[in-house]
Amino acid sequence: MPRILGQTFRRLSHPDRSGIPFASLGKPSLKSTVSLSLVLRFSLLLGSSLISGCHQTAISSAPPPVNQLGSVWVADIEGQPGQLFLCGTIHVLRQSDYPLATGYEFAYQNAQRLLFELPPGASEAPEFNRRLMELGSYPKTTTLPSEVGPKVWAQVEAWARSRNKSTSSFHSLKPWLASLIITSEEFQRLGASNAMGVDQHYEQRSAKDGKPGQGLETVELQLQLFSGLDRNHQILMLEQTLEEARTMEAEYGELVSAWKKGDLEVLHNLINREAEKHPELMEIFINRRNRAWVPPLMELLKKGEKVMVLVGAGHLGGPDGLLSLLRKQGCRVRHAQELMPPTTPNSGATSG
């Protein structure tokens, strides 16, 4: 999921200036049918997080388990000094998911600067919330119940009752934004938070250390990924999100486990398990964006720069993933473990 999702959910955890009481929906950190499985995978792996503010809880500095190789690869052009430390991220994590695999610290220590999906602080700008509501709300003459029909609206009401939530704040929302808010509530129930996401951790750390950071995309582009979905896809997204809410905990655990192990084949298969039914969505949310990122990444390599690139882990694997695309450009791609010294300090891979 684009990283904006997590930022969106974090902002929705507080009442917005238009007076819509999002706080009543819980504290939320844009993947066929578009199911919760798909929304979940996009929010975790394609650029994202949600749920709470930026406060980070102190986390144990114990080393990660030995089977946690991490989703960190290094791309370079043999004989040239440039290096891309390609760090697959999860945008919504729990306190128990730390410390990170040592490859992340290795990448951070060796990078001159960081490259995120979004520029650091982009979603904190005042215009973000205005634009979010502008794209995610119906005009006054239209409502969510009237657009999705009685069957789907009844499912929204049933979900709200089961979570002790009011549906009043949903009436003006388009299905894509309603889906993200529901997903945010489910993440919160799992104890997962945008504040604990890998991107957020390194965004804050690089700011403290004075390491420059930039973004591959804009907030507007990521918001348009969702608002550009047609009516039928949006309704389907909401319907499947509601139907599959009960499977979220298992899906989340499966994805995070594969990410910790650096198992790109499993991650790719999990993402494509539902998305293959709607390849046009994979093109919009993953493949097209991956292709757009390759030229600027190659330019950095050719300049000899060493850059830590933090993108959702779902962007890395598969035939259309960044690792494959960079190999086609003549890059050598290796797992960070192949380049790391026998012992790499782990202190920076904790959050706190």
> The pTM is what?
0.84
- Proportion of the chain above pLDDT 90, given as a percent: 55
Between these two residues, 273 and 58, which has the higher pLDDT value? Answer: 273
Q: CA 247, 165, 47: angle at the middle one, nearest 5?
A: 50
pLDDT of residue 125: 73
Please, which pLDDT band fits residue 333 given cuts at 50, 70 and 90?
A: very high
Please, which pLDDT band fits residue 30 given cuts at 50, 70 and 90?
A: very low
Q: What is the pLDDT of residues 216-231, one digit of tens each?
A: 999 899 899 899 999 9
Average pLDDT over residues 290-294: 97
Cα 81 to the center of its chain, rounded Å: 30
Q: What is the pLDDT of residues 68-81, one digit of tens each?
A: 889 999 999 999 99
Which two structure tokens, joined as six digits, stand for 99?
A: 């410390």
pLDDT of residue 269: 83
Q: What is the pLDDT of residues 86-113, one digit of tens each?
A: 999 998 899 999 999 999 999 999 999 9
pLDDT of residue 5: 53
Specify the range with the lowest mean pLDDT, choosing from 7-16, 168-177, 232-241: 7-16
Between these two residues, 107 and 192, which has the higher pLDDT value? Answer: 107
Q: What is the pLDDT of residues 135-178, one digit of tens each?
A: 999 999 999 999 999 999 999 999 999 999 999 999 999 999 99
Average pLDDT over residues 5-21: 42
pLDDT of residue 227: 92
Order the strands of the 72-76 sheet from edge to edge.
213-215, 113-116, 306-312, 83-89, 72-76, 332-335
> What integer best gives the mean pLDDT of the chain?
82
pLDDT of residue 256: 92
Q: CA 45, 191, 109: angle at the middle one, nearest 5?
A: 50
Residue the block writes with tokens 């960070």: 336
pLDDT of residue 184: 85
pLDDT at 206 over 60: yes
| DSSP letter string, 161-212 | HHTT--SGGGTTB-HHHHHHHHHHHHHHHTT-BGGGSHHHHHHHHHHHHT--
